[in-house]
């Protein structure tokens, strides 16, 4: 049965076709927002996957190049692995929806979102977010929704609901908020030092719009929604918990988990696990469930102690940050390095500077290939958590953490004109026990400063956690959560910013939403913690960017030329600029505005290249003196190249003060000579004289 539903959303029409395509999926929404079209499907396996203790949800966001009228690059000319934007979009869809599936559900679920056409006024990422939520809500897959998402921009001080791609890219805020019909369930933001109060206002304006979309989805569910299917529950039997408590009383479990040394806690739990395995050796069914049951026993113990007694596993106060340390220049010969330590979380960030030609080219669903000047990469090796695992490159988590840190630091970076370098920071996780992404922001700020990057302000990041009780007002917000509090808690609320405002937010939760007081308290707590980190730890370590780049970094000088003369510098098929590069060994980048960046390690050669370029773009006048090379000899005179691709003619009568019969009597090919400009001859060529050069 084919039905179409429409609503007005931020001045554009959102249309959802149900039953038109994708009939064999559990749920399918053919989304149209303006001219943006996304096919969103939700499918589930009939039975749970054996041998797992987690919900196997997969979220895909597929960017099809035909959606913007482009053929993919590369040899195969077809879409390859997901782009970074596709991975980040998948994560933003996954994070709010995952907690709304039943906790004891183990069936495989895939949410696929295929971008089929793109209207720059209606972002496909938002359309896919809504499509995934709608497809799941109308399907027969158990889901405690619906949920909705809204994006907010900030242009010239005005909040813009569901901004166009241009407004999103150029504005001061990139905010995505997901909600259920009652509470906010996910926040993702990049911001140009937005004040706390404005951020909270924007979040709840998004929430209000989400509620109108949820009303729209509920009408769809009422008309075309399928009854939710029954499933095989993977919940742990209550009698197993009771038996475990007899073997390991709650008091013993409290002693085991409440220690500030992660390795000691893991050893305590290993001993308890061995004790339980011995006790249940004759019960194969319980042995198979023991790992998950022990996890939940720990979780209940930690949550009870935090919520009722305000006692944290490592003995800290609710608002207390773990011991902090910062240092710079720990790695020799790199362009900049810094290490930031918070408890058992330790990040080392290394900064590398390069000419602008080393910017990353990004080919995505927009009109042109874009250049990415600042790149932040985050690595999370298995040794950082004491595990053994083969490294297979960055996964979605690593890409997400790197993008979050990158987003936090972009607002404070100098412009290309101020600092004509491509910049890469790499955060290496040496040790992990909670919130490595925020530690990488702190380490990266100091590393950039140590490298001589003139960032405008320092940026720090911190994360807050949450443990909730039975009612909305029964909760505890925890400042600076460690791994155990993240695993067993309800929230990971990461906020980065300067003294003057927020630059990035990422909020993940495991419950069905946050009340406004919780959101406001978390933002206030992170603000207070950031101020402490900036004032007491980072500034004493390195207070301001170094005045010059490292001696190991390439040097760059920049000159401005008339944009109309860029072609003269480049030359036919790049001949002129390549000649300059060959003669000096430098790298040269020219942008459309006429900014020329000359990069090298030999200052003399850099200056020589700049001199050549200045000569090429100069409007020549009589009396100017140049040094050139004889490149051609004719009967009537010699041609002198005074800059790559630039030649002038010295008539035979202008070579020597005395009369000469043959040019070869005085000049040979390759001679270096000084010449003075006489203007242009009758043929429009530059005319030079050697004999009229004044000593």
Give 423-455 pLDDT, tens digit per residue: 999 999 999 998 899 999 999 999 999 999 999
Q: Once rounded to an integer, what is the mean pLDDT over residues 550-563?
A: 90
| 315 has pLDDT over 80 | yes
Distance CA 353, CA 363 (A): 23
Instruction: Count Cα atoms within 13 angstroms, Cβ side, for 495.
Output: 32
| 367 has pLDDT over 80 | no
Confidence band, pLDDT 50/70/90 cuts, at residue 416 = confident
Q: Once rounded to an integer, what is the mean pLDDT over residues 591-618?
A: 88
What would you measure as the largest C-alpha separation in the chain, in angstroms? 117
Q: What is the pLDDT of residue 409?
A: 98
Q: What is the pLDDT of residue 572?
A: 85
Report the chain's terminal Cα–Cα distance, integer Å: 95
Distance CA 550, CA 190 (A): 30
From residue 100, alpha-carbon distances to 76, 474, 526, 621, 629 in Å are 39, 21, 26, 76, 76
| 464 has pLDDT over 90 | yes
| 568 has pLDDT over 90 | no
Does domain 555-617 bear CATH number 3.30.1370.10? Answer: yes
Q: What is the DSSP letter of 514?
A: B
| 459 has pLDDT over 80 | yes
Distance CA 465, CA 491 (A): 5
Distance from CA of residue 462 to its chain's centroid? Answer: 17
| 368 has pLDDT over 70 | no
Residue 396 contacts residue 402 (beta carbons within 8 Å): no
Q: Once rounded to an integer, what is the mean pLDDT over residues 259-280?
A: 88
Q: Once rounded to an integer, what is the mean pLDDT over residues 653-657?
A: 88
Q: Once rounded to an integer, what is the mean pLDDT over residues 129-153?
A: 97
Distance CA 438, CA 462 (A): 5
Distance CA 257, CA 247 (A): 16
Q: Once rounded to an integer, what is the mean pLDDT over residues 339-345?
A: 96
Question: Architecture of 238-309 per CATH?
Answer: Orthogonal Bundle (1.10)
Q: Once rounded to an integer, what is the mean pLDDT over residues 252-268?
A: 86
Q: Where in the sequence of the chain do the CATH 1.10.10 domains occur?
A: 238-309
Does domain 625-689 bear CATH number 1.20.120.450? Answer: no
| 400 has pLDDT over 90 | yes
Strand, helix or coil for residue 425: strand
DSSP per-residue string spanning 90-135: HHHHHHHHGGGS-TT--EEEEEEEEEEE-BTTB-HHHHHHHHHHHH
Nearest CA among 80, 175, 199 for reference residue 123: 175
Q: Of the CATH numbers 2.60.120.10, 2.60.40.1170, 3.30.230.70, 3.40.190.10, which one belongs to the domain with range 324-541?
A: 3.30.230.70
| 125 has pLDDT over 70 | yes
Q: Where in the sequence of the chain do the CATH 3.30.1370.10 domains occur?
A: 555-617
Residue 520 contacts residue 466 (beta carbons within 8 Å): no
Per-residue pLDDT tens digits for 189-227: 999 999 999 999 999 999 999 999 999 999 999 999 999
Q: What is the pLDDT of residue 430?
A: 97
Strand, helix or coil for residue 430: strand
Distance CA 340, CA 484 (A): 20
| 634 has pLDDT over 70 | yes
Contacting residues for 484 by C-beta, under 8 A, at least 6 apart = 257, 262, 265, 302, 313
Distance CA 52, CA 345 (A): 29
Contacting residues for 6 by C-beta, under 8 A, at least 6 apart = 13, 14, 15, 16
Q: What is the DSSP letter of 435?
A: -
Query: What is the CATH code of the structural domain delimited by 3-148+196-224?
Result: 3.30.230.70
Integer Rg of the chain from CA:
32
Q: What is the pLDDT of residue 680?
A: 79
Q: Where in the sequence of the chain do the CATH 2.40.50.140 domains occur?
A: 625-689
From residue 649, alpha-carbon distances to 279, 531, 652, 683 in Å are 100, 68, 9, 11
Q: What is the pLDDT of residue 369?
A: 66
The beta strands (E) that lie in 165-301 are given as 173-179, 184-194
Q: How many CB atoms within 10 Å of residue 190?
A: 24
Per-residue pLDDT tens digits for 77-91: 999 899 999 999 999
Q: Tell me whether residue 544 is exposed, middle or buried, using C-beta atoms within 10 angstroms of its C-beta: 0 to 12, 13 to 18, 19 or more.
A: exposed
Distance CA 475, CA 470 (A): 9
Q: What is the DSSP letter of 550?
A: -
Distance CA 504, CA 575 (A): 45
Residue 146: cis peptide before it, omega within 30 degrees of 0: yes
Per-residue pLDDT tens digits for 469-483: 988 989 999 999 998
Confidence band, pLDDT 50/70/90 cuts, at residue 685 = confident
Q: What is the pLDDT of residue 499?
A: 97
Confidence band, pLDDT 50/70/90 cuts, at residue 645 = confident
Beta bridge partners of 677: 688
Q: Where in the sequence of the chain do the CATH 3.30.230.70 domains occur?
A: 3-148+196-224, 324-541
Nearest CA among 168, 172, 100, 160 for reference residue 132: 100
């Amino acid at each position: 049965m084919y039905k179409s539903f429409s609503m007005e959303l931020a001045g554009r029409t959102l249309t959802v076709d149900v039953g038109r395509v994708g009939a064999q999926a559990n749920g399918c929404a053919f989304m149209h927002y303006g001219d943006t079209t996304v096919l969103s499907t939700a499918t589930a396996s009939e039975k749970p996957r054996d041998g797992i203790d987690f919900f196997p949800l997969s979220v895909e966001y597929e960017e099809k190049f035909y959606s913007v009228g482009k053929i993919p690059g590369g040899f195969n000319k077809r879409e390859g692995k997901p782009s970074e934007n596709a991975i980040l979009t998948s994560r933003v869809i996954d994070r709010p929806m995952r907690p709304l599936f039943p906790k004891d559900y183990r069936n495989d679920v895939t949410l696929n979102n295929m971008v089929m056409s793109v209207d720059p006024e209606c972002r496909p990422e938002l359309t896919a977010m809504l499509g995934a939520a709608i497809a799941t809500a109308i399907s027969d897959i158990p889901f405690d929704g619906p949920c909705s998402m809204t994006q907010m921009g900030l242009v010239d001080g005005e909040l813009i609901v569901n901004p166009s791609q241009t407004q999103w890219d150029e504005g001061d805020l990139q905010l995505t908020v997901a909600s259920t019909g009652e509470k906010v369930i996910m926040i993702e933001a990049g911001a140009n030092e937005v004040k706390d109060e404005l951020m909270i206002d924007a979040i709840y304006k998004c929430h209000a719009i989400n509620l109108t979309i949820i009303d729209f989805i509920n009408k769809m569910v009422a008309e075309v929604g399928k009854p939710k299917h029954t499933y095989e529950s993977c919940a742990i039997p209550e009698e197993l918990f009771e038996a475990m408590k007899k073997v390991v009383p709650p008091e013993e479990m409290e002693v085991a988990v409440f220690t500030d040394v992660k390795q000691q806690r893991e050893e305590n739990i290993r001993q308890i696990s061995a004790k339980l395995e011995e006790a249940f050796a004759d019960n194969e069914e319980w042995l198979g469930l023991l790992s998950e049951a022990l996890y939940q026993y720990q979780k209940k113990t930690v949550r009870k102690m935090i919520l009722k007694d305000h006692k944290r596993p490592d003995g800290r106060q609710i608002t207390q940050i773990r011991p902090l340390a910062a240092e710079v220049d720990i790695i020799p010969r790199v362009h900049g390095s810094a290490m930031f330590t918070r408890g058992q979380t330790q990040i080392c960030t290394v900064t590398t500077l390069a000419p602008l030609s080393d910017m990353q080219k990004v080919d995505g669903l927009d009109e042109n290939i874009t250049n990415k000047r600042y790149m932040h990469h985050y690595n999370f090796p298995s040794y950082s958590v004491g595990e053994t695992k083969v490294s297979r490159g960055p996964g979605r988590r690593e890409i997400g953490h790197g993008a979050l840190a990158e987003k936090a630091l972009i607002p404070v970076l100098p412009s290309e004109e101020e600092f004509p370098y491509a910049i890469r920071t790499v955060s290496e996780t040496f040790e992990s026990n909670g919130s490595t992404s925020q530690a990488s922001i702190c380490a990266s700020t100091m590393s950039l400063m140590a490298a001589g990057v003139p960032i405008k302000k320092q940026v720090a990041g911190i994360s807050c956690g949450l443990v909730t009780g039975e009612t909305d007002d029964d909760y505890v917000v925890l400042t600076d959560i460690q791994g155990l509090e993240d695993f067993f808690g309800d929230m990971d609320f990461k906020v980065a910013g300067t003294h003057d405002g927020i630059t990035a937010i990422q909020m993940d939760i495991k419950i069905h939403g946050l009340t406004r007081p919780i959101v406001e308290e978390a933002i206030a707590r992170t603000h207070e913690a950031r101020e402490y980190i900036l004032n007491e730890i980072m500034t004493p370590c390195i207070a301001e960017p170094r005045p010059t780049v490292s001696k190991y970094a390439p040097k760059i000088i920049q000159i401005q030329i008339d944009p109309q003369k860029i072609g003269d510098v480049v030359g036919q098929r790049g001949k002129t600029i390549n000649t300059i590069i060959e003669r000096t060994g430098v790298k040269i980048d020219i942008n459309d505005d006429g900014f020329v960046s000359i990069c090298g390690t030999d200052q003399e050669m850099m200056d020589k290249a700049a001199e050549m370029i200045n000569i090429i773009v100069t409007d020549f006048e009589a009396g100017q003196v140049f040094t050139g090379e004889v490149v051609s000899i004719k009967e009537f005179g010699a041609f002198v190249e005074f800059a790559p691709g630039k030649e002038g003619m010295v008539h035979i009568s202008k070579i020597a003060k005395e009369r000469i019969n043959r040019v070869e009597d005085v000049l040979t090919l390759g001679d270096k000579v000084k010449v003075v400009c006489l203007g242009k001859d009758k043929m429009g060529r530059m005319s030079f004289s050697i004999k009229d050069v004044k000593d």
